[in-house]
Structure 1
Amino acid sequence: MPLTACLQPLLAEAAARQIRLPVLLQGQQAELLLQCQQLIATVKPQSLYWLGEQAPAASTQLKPGNNYQLLGSECDMLVVNAFSGFNADLVAASAGCLKAGGVWLLLAPSDEHWCQQPNPAHSALLPYPLDPQQHQGQFIRFWLSRLAESKLLKLTLNNNQLTINRTLTLPEYQSPATVAPPYASAEQQQAVAAILKVVSGHRKRPLVLVADRGRGKSAALGLAAALLVQQGKKHLIITAASPNAAATAINHYQQQLSDTPGLRFIAVDQLLLEQPELDLLLIDEAAALPTTVLKQLADRYSRIVFATTEHGYEGTGRGFQLRFQRYLEQTQSGWKRLQIKQPVRYQQHDPLEQLIFNSFLLQQPEIEPVYQPGQPMQLRQHQHKDWLAAPEQLSAVFHLLSLAHYQTQVKDLVALLDNPQLSVIALYQQDQLLACALLSYEGELAPELCQQIYQGKRRVQGHLLAQSLAFHLAEPQLASQRLVRVMRVAVAQPLQRQGLGSHLLTELNNLLQQQNIDWLGTSFGVSPALLAFWQAAGYIPVRLSHFADNASSEPSVLMLKPINGSKELVQQLNQQLANELYHCLQEYPANLSFDVIRKLVRPPTVTLTAADIEQLQLFAEGKRPYQLVAHQLLNWFNFHYLQLEPFAASVIAARLWQKQSWQTISQRFQLAGKAACIKVIQQQISRC
């Protein structure tokens, strides 16, 4: 029986029941492609998405990095050709585009052959010197084991003979609650009402609209915009990481008011540059934008709707929840959060959505661990080869890592299974996971290669710590030593601030001493709390990046802890950082927190003479201009900066250390010009 004859009745049934049809077709590539072409010719999808090679001319071929361009887009058929590689991130993200009645067709070799072949689509996850054309990881074997627990139609094609290996029973159609057009669900109607309230209610009470894919979130933005234009609102803007991400909202607006302009797209950089006056700002797929950009928009506009997908395969979606929503809580406590749960592209128990959630570990467990202080805990180290025999532990670790970090993607799950340099140490109590740390074993590079990295001639994948030590810190010999980088530390949410993270790092230190590791290192978006945590654990800052990270909006700090390495050398590197910061602080991000600066910098101190002190007192009394005492002020501040009020110290550091203009300082600290800034300095001198 041909593939078309097998699938056509199922596709008709899938359309009637409002679900998508997941199909795994295995065999020889040439045969499968021929059958797939015949299916496409018969079904005639209006929109065909294709992952992998051999894409038909009429299809949209999805490429790595397309994840956010997919948001809001739709297709009638989605084919994944896994013969030339299987990009897990792209597979997970693209599945949400498929509409009800469509087929998700995975073309693959037999299980045995698939597990034995390399996966070049994940070559960016493999460390030097592994060859991605030769390396066989564990992810495909793990994923197939998860697929075996999922509902799908599994077929084998051999010499044009189609065999059904596993049947698929489609869920019964569940009619959603009836709502009046143009709404697709009652929850969507509630979302539109909430958007309208952002405009009519109090200022500075933004709405965060959250949903998994296919819930009608973007459509709600467009429907609400149409109602607002009908009410006389004329200044409505929608922005997103790309025009494609806003297309669904704009399409729904135009369906309601095809001849009435009112909602238009503006790119984020243009919006920040022009800063037009608005009745409402809509941000679709907000999690795709850097946190620093979201903060700027929240500060500038008083009526905003942030719509976002927060699931794991959306990458920085976790950053939106962990960092940006926390910022809203601190600055605009009246913000509201509304979640849409009812799917509108397909019904609630759609087998493809369940397959994607299950096979990529995207469903978070509801059971929280219980910690009993004083009771024994166990430390376990998991290597990449251990996970297949411990899938429950892998699931628990991946979920904890994703909850505790702002930038988790499906590829992080892949890396755990495919990258032999990655390891996890986990803290358990009565088999409950309390905390864990993700480690990368690095270094031990050949001396010649270390020199090439130092000279800027080479970069090596998977050795971030070794490379930074050789290139940025000009210590190439360290890249040949045994290094471990702590990539993430995660403690279960209800158990935080009970010392478990610190205990885990102590146990890690003891473990790596036994393994004869020379150096421990870590790198993260710097904040005062995180810096204090790592310093308390014995880690010493040795480098601060010159640019803010897009996801965290903070520059990264690199910290080292000698295990068997030289303590004198790490102290020397720390002193170099302190000196560089003092002399070149203006080369670092302008909004770098003073709470961070004061923990890293060590200014030179000069004893002030009686004449210096007299000059400063006259300045404080308004009898000397600033420019006449600038030098004495610098010496005074270098001596007193730790004792001053935090706000005032931040203002003075911005001028004397960061060399910022009075205008910049006034805007940054919301002061009324140069005179107000100088007044802050004068008051501090008077109090010392």
Structure 2
Amino acid sequence: MPLTAYLQPLLAQAAARRVRLPVLLQGGEQPLLQACEELISSLTPQKLYWLGDEAPANATPLTAGANYRLLGSECDMLVINAFNGFNADLVAASAGCLRAGGLWLLLAPEDEKWCSQPNPAHASLLPYPIDPKQHQGQFIRFWLARLAECQILKLTLLNNQLSVAQPLSLPEYIAPVEVAMPYASTEQQQAVTAILKVVSGHRKRPLVLVADRGRGKSAALGLAAALLAKQGKTRLAITAASPNAAATAINHYQSQLADTTGLRFMPVDTLLEQKPELDLLLIDEAAALPTAVLKQLADNYSRIVFATTEHGYEGTGRGFQLRFQRYLDQTQKGWKRLELKQPVRYQLNDPLEQLIFNSFLLRQPLTEMQYQPDQQLQLRFFRQPDWHTASAKLTAVFHLLSLAHYQTQVKDLAALLDNPSLSVAALYQHDQLLACALLSDEGKLEPELTKQVYQGKRRVQGHLLAQSLAFHLAQPQLASQRVVRIMRIAVTPHLQRLGLGSRLLHGISESISQQNTTGLLGTSFGVSPTLLSFWQKAGFIPVRLSHFADNASSEPSVMMLKPLDSNHELLVKQLQQRAGSELYQCLSEYPANLSFTVICKLILPPTSPLTTADIEQLQLFAVGKRPYELIAGLLLNWFNLNYQQLEPLPASVIAARLWQKQSWQTISQRFQLPGKAACISLIQQQIDTNNL
């Protein structure tokens, strides 16, 4: 039977039941492409999305990096040509675009052939010098094994004969509840009502809007904002990890109003720096923002809505629920949580949605691990080949990474299976995974290449730490050595602050030291006082602070090293001293809102003893008998000697003026002080209380 004749009645059934039809068609490339062309010609979809090569003229080709641009868009047919590559991230992202009754068609070789061929679509996941056109990873084999447990129609086309390798049973139809325009579901209408109540109700009662992808939560933000604007509430802003993530909400706002500028996107750093007066702040994909940033926004704004995906291709996991919502419990007990469960483009039991969730490990388990401090822990290491026979271990590791880290995405799962330079250190108790760390084996670059990296002439993939040593720290010889970078560390959320992370780091250090193959362990992350203290307690030493805030964390990144042998101890100490001195000399070149607590842990200011005359001048300033301008130099020397013993607010004000070279106006706004006189008075009080 021809492919078209076989699928048409199934598509009619899928449309009647408001679901999508997932189909895997395997065989030779050209026969499959020809059959697909005939199918498209027969079905004539209004909107056709195509992933991979050989896209027809009437298709919209989807390319890597299109993930956020897909949010809110729709299609009637989605074809994935996997013969020359299978981009797991893009496959997971694009599935949400397909409407009910639509066809999801994956064209691929037969299983064994597909597993044995390279996957160039994952080239960005592979480190230098691996050739993606030759490398055979493990992801496709793993994914096919997961697919066998999913609801999917698996067909084979060989010698013009179509055969069914795996049948599919579509779920029964569930009639949706009728709802008035412009709403797509009753749940979405309820969400809009709840958003409006945030503005009209009591202050400091934020709303947390939770939903899987495709439930209409972003649209609800825009529709609610439009209603508020019609009511005269025009001070509205929306923020997210990127402008693209807020596009759906803004588009729905603009669909309701002629005024297309009322709901404005504001980056997180702008909100925190300028603190504009707002009637309502909307945050879309909130879990993609660091918890520290969410806390600051919650503290600064009394009427706020957090919308987030608890699991999805964005990789947010349930970490938002377990980390940030705990903070709301403590600080804003009147907060409300509303969950949208009903998809707006298809019914709840849609087989394609279940396939995406299950095959890409986006379903989070609900079981909680138990930890007994008096029981022994086991440290195990896993490398790429190990996952083939330890799929359950891989599932647990990826779930924990997704749960504990806001940046974990589908491509991280693919990297674990395809990148041989990645490994996982996992901490177990009674076969329960309590903590894990993702490690990247870097360095061992050729001397000529390290020279080119140092000179800024070349960059290679997958060696972030090694290249930073060569380029930023001017240590190209270190990039020729093996260095191990801890990319991420995750502890089961309800077991955090029990020392498990520290024990894991200690075990990693000991294990790598025993290998005698490297003398350096390193990491890089968006700096915060808590994280910095954690890594310093584990023996890691800060050697570089970036000059710009990271897009994901909204904080500058700090690079830290742990010497594993005596040969590297002196060098790392020298790098720390150089970084601390550079920070002091050029602090004004770093982000203006850098935490003073962080600065204190990194900076190394020069000092010289105060003379009796110096002390007398400062005492006169403290009682108002000397102007600030006359003793600014003496004050700098005094501050360099005493900054670690001062109270946080006055110390931050002095650092902002003398170290960061900020104007009195900027300082007043930053610390919410009336003006220059109030700033100087604060400094005078601090000197007076230190009994000079």
Pairwise TM-score range, normalised by the shorter structure: over 0.9
Give the superposition deviation at 1:286. Answer: 4.9
Q: Give the equivalent residue in structure 2 for 1:522.
A: 523
SS at match of 2:83: helix
Per mean C-alpha deviation after superposition, the further-off stretch among 511-520 and 315-324 is 315-324
Q: Give the equivalent residue in structure 2 for 1:371.
A: 371
Change (3 A) 1:153 1:468: same
- Residues 260-409 of structure 1: pairs in structure 2 closer than 5 A: 261=259, 264=262, 266-268=264-266, 279-286=279-286, 302-315=302-315, 334-409=334-409
1:78 and 1:435 map into 2 onto residues whose CA distance is 38
SS at match of 2:440: strand
1:231 and 1:604 map into 2 onto residues whose CA distance is 58
- Residues 515-664 of structure 1: pairs in structure 2 closer than 5 A: 515-516=515-516, 517-564=518-565, 565-664=567-666
Q: Give the equivalent residue in structure 2 for 1:94.
A: 94
TM-score of the pair, normalised by structure 2: 0.93
SS at match of 2:531: helix
Change (3 A) 1:515 1:17: same
SS at match of 1:639: helix
Change (3 A) 1:608 1:235: closer
1:261 and 1:604 map into 2 onto residues whose CA distance is 56
**AA partner of residue 457 (structure 1):** K
Q: Give the equivalent residue in structure 1 for 2:500.
A: 500
Give the superposition deviation at 1:285. Answer: 4.3
Change (3 A) 1:92 1:25: same
- Residues 200-211 of structure 1: pairs in structure 2 closer than 5 A: 200-211=200-211
Q: Give the equivalent residue in structure 1 for 2:214.
A: 214
- Residues 413-452 of structure 1: pairs in structure 2 closer than 5 A: 413-452=413-452
Write the deviation string for residues 484-525 of structure 1: whole angstroms up to 9, x where unpaired.
Answer: 111111111121111111111111122111211221111111
Change (3 A) 1:52 1:292: farther
8 Å contact from structure 1 (residues 225, 263) kept in 2: no
Write the deviation string for residues 389-420 of structure 1: whole angstroms up to 9, x where unpaired.
Answer: 01100000011112121211111001111111
1:234 and 1:532 map into 2 onto residues whose CA distance is 42
8 Å contact from structure 1 (residues 75, 99) kept in 2: yes
Give the superposition deviation at 1:620. Answer: 1.0
- Residues 146-185 of structure 1: pairs in structure 2 closer than 5 A: 146-176=146-176, 183-185=183-185
SS at match of 1:174: coil
2:686 and 2:246 map into 1 onto residues whose CA distance is 50
1:11 and 1:596 map into 2 onto residues whose CA distance is 58
2:333 and 2:673 map into 1 onto residues whose CA distance is 23
**AA partner of residue 554 (structure 2):** S
Per mean C-alpha deviation after superposition, the further-off stretch among 194-203 and 415-424 is 194-203
**AA partner of residue 623 (structure 1):** K
SS at match of 1:313: coil
**AA partner of residue 538 (structure 1):** G
**AA partner of residue 640 (structure 2):** N
8 Å contact from structure 1 (residues 73, 245) kept in 2: no
Change (3 A) 1:339 1:48: same
SS at match of 1:305: strand
Write the deviation string for residues 596-634 of structure 1: whole angstroms up to 9, x where unpaired.
Answer: 111111222211111111111111111111110001101
Give the superposition deviation at 1:155. Answer: 0.8
2:466 and 2:324 map into 1 onto residues whose CA distance is 32
Unaligned regions of 5+ residues in structure 2, if any?
A: none
1:60 and 1:661 map into 2 onto residues whose CA distance is 52
1:329 and 1:477 map into 2 onto residues whose CA distance is 50
1:292 and 1:425 map into 2 onto residues whose CA distance is 26
Q: Give the equivalent residue in structure 1 for 2:52.
A: 52
SS at match of 1:608: coil
Per mean C-alpha deviation after superposition, the further-off stretch among 601-610 and 143-152 is 601-610
2:634 and 2:184 map into 1 onto residues whose CA distance is 69
Change (3 A) 1:322 1:67: farther
Per mean C-alpha deviation after superposition, the further-off stretch among 102-111 and 224-233 is 224-233
8 Å contact from structure 2 (residues 26, 109) kept in 1: yes
Give the superposition deviation at 1:115. Answer: 0.9
Write the deviation string for residues 527-579 of structure 1: whole angstroms up to 9, x where unpaired.
Answer: 11111111111111111111111111111111111113421111111111111
1:226 and 1:542 map into 2 onto residues whose CA distance is 49
2:504 and 2:637 map into 1 onto residues whose CA distance is 42
Change (3 A) 1:438 1:191: same
8 Å contact from structure 2 (residues 239, 267) kept in 1: no
Give the superposition deviation at 1:363. Answer: 0.7
8 Å contact from structure 2 (residues 289, 553) kept in 1: no
- Residues 5-154 of structure 1: pairs in structure 2 closer than 5 A: 5-154=5-154
Per mean C-alpha deviation after superposition, the further-off stretch among 316-325 and 165-174 is 316-325
2:54 and 2:354 map into 1 onto residues whose CA distance is 28
1:265 and 1:215 map into 2 onto residues whose CA distance is 21
**AA partner of residue 57 (structure 2):** A
Q: Give the equivalent residue in structure 2 for 1:675.
A: 677
**AA partner of residue 148 (structure 1):** A
8 Å contact from structure 2 (residues 318, 364) kept in 1: no
SS at match of 2:645: coil
Give the superposition deviation at 1:479. Answer: 1.1
SS at match of 1:678: helix
Give the superposition deviation at 1:173. Answer: 1.4
Give the superposition deviation at 1:252. Answer: 7.9
SS at match of 1:339: strand
SS at match of 1:367: coil
Per mean C-alpha deviation after superposition, the further-off stretch among 557-566 and 82-91 is 557-566
**AA partner of residue 600 (structure 1):** L
**AA partner of residue 166 (structure 2):** R
1:248 and 1:333 map into 2 onto residues whose CA distance is 27
8 Å contact from structure 1 (residues 72, 248) kept in 2: no
2:412 and 2:167 map into 1 onto residues whose CA distance is 32
Unaligned regions of 5+ residues in structure 1, if any?
A: none
1:459 matches 2:434: no
Q: Give the equivalent residue in structure 2 for 1:2.
A: 2
1:243 and 1:478 map into 2 onto residues whose CA distance is 39
TM-score of the pair, normalised by structure 1: 0.93
1:226 and 1:482 map into 2 onto residues whose CA distance is 56
RMSD: 2.7
Write the deviation string for residues 618-662 of structure 1: whole angstroms up to 9, x where unpaired.
Answer: 111111111100011011111111111011111111111111111
SS at match of 2:634: helix
2:382 and 2:473 map into 1 onto residues whose CA distance is 31
Give the superposition deviation at 1:467. Answer: 0.8
Identity %: 73
**AA partner of residue 382 (structure 2):** H
Change (3 A) 1:221 1:507: closer
1:578 and 1:33 map into 2 onto residues whose CA distance is 60
Change (3 A) 1:641 1:234: closer
SS at match of 1:613: helix
**AA partner of residue 442 (structure 1):** E
Give the superposition deviation at 1:446. Answer: 1.8
